[in-house]
Amino acid sequence: MLISDDQMRRAVSQGEQRSQLGLLRISVLLLLFCMASVASSQTLEILLINGKNGRPMVGESSHVNVWVGTERTNAILVPTDKKGIARIQLTLDPTAENIPKPGKYASIFVEHPILKYDGRLSINVPYAVCASGGSNYSWLGIMNFSTSEILEHGKSSPNTCGKATVQPKPGQLILFVRHLSWWEEFKS
């Protein structure tokens, strides 16, 4: 069976169209993948508020110790900015993490940490937390939170130290704290 020139041109044209369609599909998939990797990263803010006067906790020693998930045993020490906010970036891409390998028991200081997302977030602060618990409450305790709840709705701890209130925004965790008393510092 012989193929005419017109049939040959149509076959070549159809092959080129399939090739172009294949390239278009690949381009769209690459674009969607890039957009998904950007969208898969979210910032979580931890705001430290003085429960007595409602002002942000700032200063040279103001920070939060953070653990995301249960894989990491060392705390990630994240400093607060001049508004009392410590920020962490959560990502679904484990290769985007920027946390160095720690020593055996050392905390890791990271100013702008990027961590792999996990449903569990644990935090410790160098202040007394304004929460219920009375004299049995340890200010050295680690608080556990749901990461998804914070990202979707925001979360605020109770304030038993004063009347200050702040409404959290999605992606924001508000912790009401106070400075340690001389007795709490002495016991530590």
pLDDT at 41: 75
Q: What global pTM score does this model have?
A: 0.73
pLDDT at 36: 46
pLDDT at 40: 62
pLDDT in tens, the chain (188 residues): 566 666 556 655 666 666 665 555 655 454 444 444 444 679 999 999 999 999 999 988 889 999 888 777 788 999 999 999 999 999 998 888 888 776 666 678 888 899 889 999 999 998 888 877 644 455 667 899 999 999 999 999 999 989 988 999 999 999 999 988 777 667 65
pLDDT at 39: 46
pLDDT at 6: 63
pLDDT at 109: 84
pLDDT at 25: 62
User: Rounded to an integer, what distance in angstroms lies between the CA atom of residue 154 and that of residue 77?
Assistant: 21
